Amino acid sequence: MKTKNQLAAAPWVFTVGFFLLWELVCRAFKISSFILPAPSTILLAVWEYRSQLTYHALHTLWMTFAGFGLAVGFGLLLGMLLGSSRLINAGSYPLLVGFNSIPKVAVVPILVFWFGVGWVPPVLTAFLISFFPIVVNVATGIATVEPEMEDVLRALGASKKDIVFKIGVPRAMPYFFGSLKVAITLAYVGSVIGEQNASNVGIGNLLTRASAAFEVPLVWAALVVLAVLGVIMYAITAYAERSMTGWAQRSQMAA
């Protein structure tokens, strides 16, 4: 039981320790708050700008969820298609990998040409940056169905569709939820990039304006808010993963 409690406490101890160390270093070496503000300074800034930060953070959250939702729907569909057809898989992989290799920062200006400045570019950036891991993982889960299992059903006259939906899709769920943890943080990066370049609201936009005005504590406060929200969203997807696919997590490693 002792080790279980230790495991539960570890994230908090490590996090608090990290910030204490940071604070100590800043004070011991008298680092200027323009270069690296101490956590206490940042915390004060978070409190001071709380209404502004909340307003922009909610907007960013909304953009992220919209983009993430699109990525989940599109990723599942495309993953199912790729996983169930070797032809489509082989044909479209180079395209997908090529597209995924493009830095999405470079795509934002194009989105602005098409849709103007507003909520569309951040949502689409979040979508474009986060669908790839979902597609790859769902496709892998479906494509690796055991051949014996396939034989059992095919000998009964099951169609390809039966096999994909009865075995492939449920089997891909652990891969899918695993990929969501990656995708949610990516979507988040995507919406902030989109806001920095093509929006008048959101944490990304706040960051751009604060750094242009050399309001260093505000920049750091915004970064801290981003990090905290990221951890929360990751935790939500991790929770969803555990509750949906508990059957897949029974090894000692997952416990």
Partner 1 sequence: MKPFVDIHDVTHVYARAEDGVPAVQNLTIRINEGEFAAIVGPSGCGKSTLMKLATGLQFPREGTVIVDGKEVGAPVKLAGMAFQNPTMLPWRTTVDNILLPLEIVEPHRSRLRKHKAEYVAKAEGLLEQVGLKGQGHKYPWQLSGGMQQRASLCRALIHEPKLLMLDEPFGALDSFTREELWCVMRDLHAARKVTIILVTHDLREAAFLADRVFCMSARPGHIVAEREVTFPRPRDLEITYTPEFSELVHELRGHIAQARKAA
From the list 41, 9, 3, 8, the residue with the least C-alpha distance to 22 is 41
From the list 103, 102, 108, the residue with the least C-alpha distance to 121 is 108
The residues in 24-53 that bind partner 1, with binding defined as CB under 8 A, are none
Residue 116: other Cβ atoms inside 10 A: 10
| Pick 35 or 155: Cβ nearer partner 1 | 155
Q: Output the smallest distance, CB 180 to partner 1, in A.
A: 17
Contact between 4 and partner 1 by CB under 8 A: the answer reads: no
Contacts with partner 1: how many residues (CB under 8 A)? 21
| Pick 96 or 173: Cβ nearer partner 1 | 173
| Pick 48 or 146: Cβ nearer partner 1 | 146
* Selected binder of partner 1 within 7, 13, 24, 152 (CB under 8 A): 152
Contact between 166 and partner 1 by CB under 8 A: the answer reads: yes
Contact between 76 and partner 1 by CB under 8 A: the answer reads: no
* Selected binder of partner 1 within 112, 158, 229, 240 (CB under 8 A): 158
Contact between 61 and partner 1 by CB under 8 A: the answer reads: no
| Pick 84 or 191: Cβ nearer partner 1 | 84
The residues in 90-149 that bind partner 1, with binding defined as CB under 8 A, are 146, 148-149
Q: Distance between the two ends of the chain, CA-based, in angstroms?
A: 13
Q: Is 215 helix (H, G, I), strand (E, B) or coil?
A: coil
Q: CA 189, CA 194: separation in Å to the nearest integer? A: 9
The residues in 217-246 that bind partner 1, with binding defined as CB under 8 A, are 245
* Cα torsion angle, 107, 102, 135, 250, sign: negative
Q: Is 4 exposed, middle or buried (0-12, 13-18, 19+ CB in 10 A)?
A: exposed
CA distances from 233 to 58, 61, 73, 104, 174 (A): 13, 9, 18, 21, 18
* Selected binder of partner 1 within 43, 61, 76, 154 (CB under 8 A): 154
Residues that bind partner 1 (CB under 8 A): 146, 148-149, 151-158, 162, 166-167, 170-171, 173, 245, 247-248, 250
